[in-house]
Amino acid sequence: MAIVEVENLRKEYGGFAAVEGSTFSIERGEVFGIVGPNGAGKTTTLKMIAGLIEPTDGTATVAGHTPGEPAMQRRLGFLPEESPLYEEMTALEYLTFFADLYDVPSEVARERIDRTLDRLDLEHRTRRIGNMSKGMKRKVAIARALVNDPEVLIFDEPASGLDPLTTNYIIEFTRELSEAGKTIIFSAHNLFHVESICDRVAVMNHGRIVARGTVDEIRGTHGGTEYHVYATVDASHALGEISASRENDQVRHVVGGMDDVESIREAVDAEGGRITDIQTTTPSLEEIFLEIASGSDAEGTARSDTETEADADTTDPEEELEA
Amino acid sequence: MSDDRSSSESIRRHLASLRRGAVGSFRRTARIARWEISRSAGTVDRRTIVAVAAILVVVGGVGLSVAEDGIGLEDELYVVGVDSDDPYADVATESDRFRTIALEDVRIDEGGDSNVDVVVTRDGELGYVGDNGEQAFHAFREAIEAENADRMAAEDDDVAAYPVLVTVEYQERETGMAAESGDGGSDTGGDVIGTDGVDADESAADDDTEIVDTDGDTAVADSDTTSSDSEAADSGGDRGASDDDTTDAAGDVVGSDGSGSDDDVGSPETTTDVTSPTADGEFQVPDVGATATEETSPATPDTLSPPFPFQSLVLAFLFIVPMNFVIQTYGSTIMDERIKRRGELLLVSPSSRYEIVAGKTLPYLLGLVGIVVATAAVIGGRTLSVAAAIPIALVFLASTFAGAMLARSFKELTFVTVTISVLLTTYTFVPAIFTEVTPIALISPLTLVVMDLQGESVRLVEYLFSTTPFYLSAAVLFLLGIGIYREEDMFAQKPVPAKIVDAITSQIDAVSRRVSSYWSPFVLSVVFMPFVFAAQLLAVALLFVVPESIALIVMFVLAAAVEEFAKSIHVYAGFARSRFEPTIRVAAILGALSGLGFFVGEKITHVGQFVGLSDLPISVAAFGPELGADLPLVVLLALFLAPLALHVVTAIISATGARRGRGTYAVAFVVATLVHALYNLGVILLVS
């Protein structure tokens, strides 16, 4: 059953269409990724769903409520890409205030805040937010998004600008939330993060959804993604001919899919080493976007071959455009 | 029966839902307010606390000092050389204006330089030396008069002490000032010479000074107390003898400057009917400042108040000072939400933007109310002072909020808050200077504070006249600001005009949701009326000092431009943001409804006529003439409806231009303004 319904969403700024005819639905408990280059319209779409931006046209509903309704806002947790906090307050004061604003009983709020901060491994909760590191601040922001125990979470670039350790922590936490039954809309540049936790993905470019489906479906069609697996030992033998190079005291393995990453991981474990980082190369990600975008531009209709999904209750955005 | 039951059940549920909604809204607002206080407290460092405390101490100290001791600018201004055992030494010692030195210490150089200003010789002669000597001499004589007055006041035998008793009666002035003013005085028994030396029309009875001496003769004088040369004479023929011989306090009737005319016939039953001050003939201002009060008490000439309420004005100004500081903090907190994007997370909460703004504003409003109440308590103001100062505080906050929503940086915010401080302080303070002189002063609620401090009563209509534009302007400014308290405008670096258009468009949307987009020009024309009223009153106040021939022409055009702008800017905003279809037909409908709305709003604001403002020629240019009651009904009806036709036609002109863009709107606006100005001129010529 769809908990989020987006239909023909459109946002125009002075004649420029930031989002054009976005249509999709998200099932309860699903993790839905929205990816795309800067200026693709991801954040605008998320903000329209959250009720921050009024659509020029189209509708978005969460659990049957339109954005702006208090009943809808109570069901939603929103983590913007940049979430400036009130730095003069302590983490506890800040979270308690937002819990109060969402009418969460104080005892429930205290227990929920403690539990979330424990899980996020955030100490110094009575320290002023202004004195915290960037990673700690991001954890406070995530805790704030959860303070009302929302059914739907919107995470816009949750790990943007954070170190790999904190990034992995946040991605793992997001996965746990998904397993706990939360519906999550997730936006990121890093395709690895997206494909590691998202059930389905919509690729946006120039304000339009140009591809939609599972991660494998999209990658299978467009390819080009390279995963750079950094390990303390050389495990390239596990996959035969793959690119591996030594950088300082680490070995970088370049592979083309998640199965290969898993193989590298097993090989590294067998060698007694450990994986220090996994990255997708930015050009590869951009290549996918550019390929999809240029393909859709060439076709004129911007219709992607990766449109494998045929939800009966959703309208194909590209067909809408054609119409 | 069951239908009735279900219907009443439905109503009950609806009411319960509304009540829950209101309670929930109130709770969320209170939470945000509480949080704003605790959050702001975290931003204040010790230095700021010390600085604010110092300011409060200074303001409080000044208030207390002025309230108890007066301004104190003349303390020990003059030096009197007098022996300590001389009777005049007590006069000099007891007055703050003088410092005494012994006669043997007095030094007078050959060049005229001296260490004293006034000298009291051992044989009782008074003299003065030096540049300040003459002024010091007059001041010393005033002090002697005051000393004599005090002694007389202490005298048990009133008749012996006060051979002439003065009854001061303030009477409401009749209209038709234009015909009366300029005349100096009237002559019904005694000769009285006014400022310009022209005998007055007898119809100016309410401005007359009536002096009755012992034998019952009556002299009527048109006492122009704004003048420094008011003269009066008794009925016994001792006329025009005004001089500075005020040491002879008993029997003298003195004008506002302390000069007096001899009235050497002592009388225990002398009555003086003195109206409050009137203006000179050039500007033809009626009196309003001292209406509705009556006082009969023994008085000496030097106790008559001058027309310039200096002390009350300084005390009233103390209400304004803290407001200028509070808006700095308030503007910063709104700006913080925008520049640092911190407000975004509040906007996705269940709180509406109205609740957020109310919650963030409430602590500052309550703080200002507290300061106002405390200030009133310190300086001796009553409830009226508080009731008059609160709308000023509201406008300070509302304009700061709107300004902070428009500013794109803290640098711009500084410009905005300084502009608000200067404009509002000027708007409130300058008119209050004329409290005793002209009804124009009533455009400022601070005038009500001055009147309150002077012990004068204020009619309800005067309170409404002064404060309603402030209340309504504050409401409209808050609404416009809240209109752009949303993600798209708060965090975007849009040009200020674009944001203003957005703010107005948000109100068009609000009306459209409730009624219809076509009615939004009607509603907004009414809503903008307080700004029109305030702008025109401000123009009247500013042009008050300009020669009338120039002021009237400027006022004709300015008043028309202000009204045409208020009638058309929302129509332009609607077209610019694609809320209306840009066709001639739609423009005509919108223009007609805008004109109709403005007409309705204009009729509501004719409260000015109740306070005598319509007596001023320049006010007539701004607000139009009063319709004569002696005109035929058809003519009256035509004159009543003619403005409707004007507003509709000119609004249609502007709307037609607005549908095509900014350039054509500007041209159409100029045309509409000229048509409007010519209409105003024509009507005034016709009526006069």
Q: Is the pLDDT of residue B231 over 50?
A: no
Q: Do B346 and A101 touch (CB under 8 A)?
A: yes
Q: Print burial letters for B37-61: b (CB count within 10 Å at least 16), e (below 16).
A: eebbeeeeeeeeeeeeeeeeeebee
Position B1 scores a pLDDT of: 55
Q: Is the pLDDT of residue B674 over 90?
A: yes
Which position has the higher pLDDT, B58 or A70?
A: A70
Assess A281–B contact: CB distance below 8 Å, yes or no: no
Position B210 scores a pLDDT of: 39
Q: Are A274 and A229 in contact (CB under 8 A)?
A: no
Q: How far is B324 from chain A (nearest CA, A)?
A: 25
ipTM of the shown complex: 0.72
Position B493 scores a pLDDT of: 76
Q: What is the largest CA-CA distance in chain B?
A: 112
Select from A53, A85, A101 the Cβ nearest to the Cβ of B488: A53
| Gap between the Cα atoms of A57 and A12, Å rounded | 9
Which position has the higher pLDDT, A62 or B159?
A: A62
Count of beta carbons in the 10 Å neighbourhood of residue B536: 22
Q: Do B32 and A101 touch (CB under 8 A)?
A: yes
The contacts found for B274-277 with CB under 8 angstroms, 24 or more apart, are B274/B168, B274/B169, B274/B170, B274/B209, B274/B223, B274/B225, B274/B304, B275/B170, B275/B171, B275/B173, B275/B206, B275/B207, B275/B208, B275/B223, B276/B170, B276/B225, B276/B436, B277/B224, B277/B225, B277/B226, B277/B307, B277/B436, B277/B437
Cα B189-B191-B194 angle, rounded to 5 deg: 130
* Percent helix / strand / coil, chain A, rounded to 5: 40, 25, 35
Q: Is the pLDDT of residue B584 over 70?
A: yes
Q: Do A84 and B350 touch (CB under 8 A)?
A: no
**Which CA distances in Å does B437 have to A112, A214, B493?**
67, 81, 47
Q: Is the pLDDT of residue B242 over 70?
A: no
Position B618 scores a pLDDT of: 54
Q: Is the pLDDT of residue B233 over 60?
A: no
Phi/psi at B232 (5° precision):
-145, 155
Position B611 scores a pLDDT of: 55
| Gap between the Cα atoms of B557 and B438, Å rounded | 24
Task: Choose among B249, B260, B248: nearest CA to B223.
Answer: B260
Q: Say which range, A45-49, B37-41, B437-441, has the weakest mean pLDDT.
A: B437-441
Position B685 scores a pLDDT of: 79
Position A46 scores a pLDDT of: 93
| Gap between the Cα atoms of B537 and B427, Å rounded | 10
**DSSP state for residue B281 in the 8-state scheme:** T
Beta-sheet pairing, B78-81 with A250-255: unpaired
- Tokens at residue A155, please? 């995470």
**DSSP state for residue A147 in the 8-state scheme:** T
β-partners of residue B222 are B208
| Gap between the Cα atoms of B171 and B294, Å rounded | 8
CA dihedral (A133, A139, A142, A143) positive or negative: negative
Instruction: Specify the DSSP element, H or E, that contains A9.
Output: strand A2-13
Position B663 scores a pLDDT of: 92
Cα B399-B372-B60 angle, rounded to 5 deg: 120
Q: Are B621 and B555 in contact (CB under 8 A)?
A: yes
Position A45 scores a pLDDT of: 94
**Which positions in chain A touch B341 (Cβ < 8 Å)?**
80, 82, 84
Q: Is the pLDDT of residue B686 over 60?
A: yes
| Gap between the Cα atoms of B510 and A182, Å rounded | 35
Q: What is the largest CA-CA distance in chain A?
A: 59
Q: Which CATH class is domain A227-280?
A: alpha beta
Mean of all residue pLDDT scores within chain B: 74
Q: Print burial letters for B140-157: b (CB count within 10 Å at least 16), e (below 16).
A: bbbbbbbbbbeebeeeee
pLDDT in tens, A214-254: 776 776 666 656 788 899 988 888 777 677 788 888 888 88
| Gap between the Cα atoms of A308 and B380, Å rounded | 80
Assess A47–B contact: CB distance below 8 Å, yes or no: yes
| Average pLDDT over every residue of B116-137 | 84
Which position has the higher pLDDT, B2 or A184?
A: A184
Q: Do B488 and A54 touch (CB under 8 A)?
A: yes
Q: CATH 3.40.50.300 in chain A: give the residue spans.
A: 2-222+289-317
Position B640 scores a pLDDT of: 77
Distance, C-alpha A13 to centroid of its chain: 25
Q: How confident is the model at residue B667 (pLDDT cuts 50, 70, 90)?
A: very high
**Which positions in chain A touch B486 (Cβ < 8 Å)?**
52, 54
Alpha helices in B271-309 (DSSP H): none
Position B86 scores a pLDDT of: 86
- Tokens at residue A59, please? 């509708």
| Average pLDDT over every residue of A12-36 | 88
Q: How confident is the model at residue A281 (pLDDT cuts 50, 70, 90)?
A: low
Q: Say which range, A271-280, B626-635, B676-685, has the weakest mean pLDDT.
A: B626-635
Q: Do A85 and B350 touch (CB under 8 A)?
A: no
Q: Do B350 and A52 touch (CB under 8 A)?
A: no
pLDDT in tens, A258-271: 888 888 888 898 88
Q: How far is A45 from chain B (nearest CA, A)?
A: 13
Assess A76–B contact: CB distance below 8 Å, yes or no: yes
Q: Do A101 and B351 touch (CB under 8 A)?
A: yes
Cβ-Cβ contacts under 8 Å between A and B: the total is 61
Q: Do B31 and A100 touch (CB under 8 A)?
A: yes
Select from B32, B39, B344 the Cβ nearest to the Cβ of A52: B344
Position B291 scores a pLDDT of: 38
CA dihedral (B46, B51, B52, B58) positive or negative: positive
- Taking CA–CA distances from B43, the nearest residue in chain A reads A88
Assess B486–A contact: CB distance below 8 Å, yes or no: yes
Q: Is the pLDDT of residue B299 over 60?
A: no
Q: How far is A242 from chain B (nearest CA, A)?
A: 46
pLDDT in tens, B350-397: 899 999 999 999 999 999 999 999 988 888 888 999 999 999 999 999
pLDDT in tens, A146-173: 999 999 999 998 887 778 888 888 888 8
Q: Are B126 and B116 in contact (CB under 8 A)?
A: no
Select from A80, A86, A98 the Cβ nearest to the Cβ of B344: A80
Q: Are A199 and A192 in contact (CB under 8 A)?
A: no
Distance, C-alpha B474 to centroid of its chain: 16
**Which positions in chain B touch A89 (Cβ < 8 Å)?**
38-39, 42
| Gap between the Cα atoms of B119 and B113, Å rounded | 14
Alpha helices in chain A (DSSP H): 42-50, 70-74, 91-101, 106-119, 134-146, 164-179, 191-197, 215-222, 258-271, 282-299, 317-322
Q: Are B107 and B85 in contact (CB under 8 A)?
A: no
Q: Do A84 and B342 touch (CB under 8 A)?
A: yes
Position B296 scores a pLDDT of: 45
Which position has the higher pLDDT, B386 or B154?
A: B386
> Which of helix, strand or coil describes residue B15?
helix
Contacts of residue B43, defined as CB under 8 A and 6 or more positions apart, other chains included, come to A88
Beta-sheet pairing, B98-101 with B78-81: parallel
Q: Do B341 and A53 touch (CB under 8 A)?
A: no
| Average pLDDT over every residue of B464-484 | 89
Position B230 scores a pLDDT of: 35
- Tokens at residue B397, please? 């906050």
β-partners of residue B426 are none
**Which positions in chain B touch A52 (Cβ < 8 Å)?**
344, 347-348, 486-487
Beta-sheet pairing, A250-255 with A243-247: antiparallel
Which of B39, B44, B352, B487 should be substituted to probe chain A, the one whose Cβ sees the most A Cβ atoms within 10 Å? B487
Select from A74, A93, A144 the Cβ nearest to the Cβ of B345: A144
pLDDT in tens, A38-81: 888 999 999 999 999 989 899 999 988 988 888 888 999 999 98
Distance, C-alpha A273 to centroid of its chain: 30
Which of B23, B348, B488, B502 should be substituted to probe chain A, the one whose Cβ sees the most A Cβ atoms within 10 Å? B348
Beta-sheet pairing, A76-79 with A152-156: parallel
- Tokens at residue B159, please? 């008749």
pLDDT in tens, B160-198: 777 776 666 655 544 443 333 333 333 333 333 333 333
Select from A80, A85, A102 the Cβ nearest to the Cβ of B349: A102
**pTM given for the model:** 0.66
Q: How far is B574 from chain A (nearest CA, A)?
A: 14
Assess A70–B contact: CB distance below 8 Å, yes or no: yes
Q: Determine the topology of domain A2-222+289-317 in CATH.
A: Rossmann fold (3.40.50)
Could you tell me how many residues make up chain A? 323
| Gap between the Cα atoms of A141 and B348, Å rounded | 13
Count of beta carbons in the 10 Å neighbourhood of residue A321: 16
Q: Say which range, B201-205, B537-541, B643-647, has the weakest mean pLDDT.
A: B201-205
Assess A153–B contact: CB distance below 8 Å, yes or no: no
Phi/psi at A279 (5° precision):
-130, 150
Q: Do B348 and A73 touch (CB under 8 A)?
A: yes
Task: Choose among B277, B634, B565, B576: nearest CA to B437.
Answer: B277
Q: Say which range, A70-79, B63-72, B295-304, has the weakest mean pLDDT.
A: B295-304
Instruction: Specify the DSSP element, H or E, that contains B127.
Output: strand B126-128
Assess B345–A contact: CB distance below 8 Å, yes or no: yes
Q: Do A52 and B345 touch (CB under 8 A)?
A: no
- Tokens at residue A83, please? 């979430």
Amino acid present at B247: T
- Taking CA–CA distances from A77, the nearest residue in chain B reads B348
Q: Is the pLDDT of residue A183 over 80?
A: yes
Distance, C-alpha A221 to centroid of its chain: 21
Q: Are B337 and B487 in contact (CB under 8 A)?
A: no
CA dihedral (A217, A223, A228, A234) positive or negative: positive
| Average pLDDT over every residue of B506-522 | 86
Q: Are B127 and B118 in contact (CB under 8 A)?
A: yes
What ranges make up the beta strands (E) of B135-231?
167-169, 208-212, 218-222
**DSSP state for residue A128 in the 8-state scheme:** B
Q: Do A101 and B342 touch (CB under 8 A)?
A: no
- Taking CA–CA distances from A88, the nearest residue in chain B reads B42
Task: Choose among B427, B441, B387, B461: nearest CA to B611.
Answer: B461
Position A212 scores a pLDDT of: 85
Q: Do B341 and A82 touch (CB under 8 A)?
A: yes
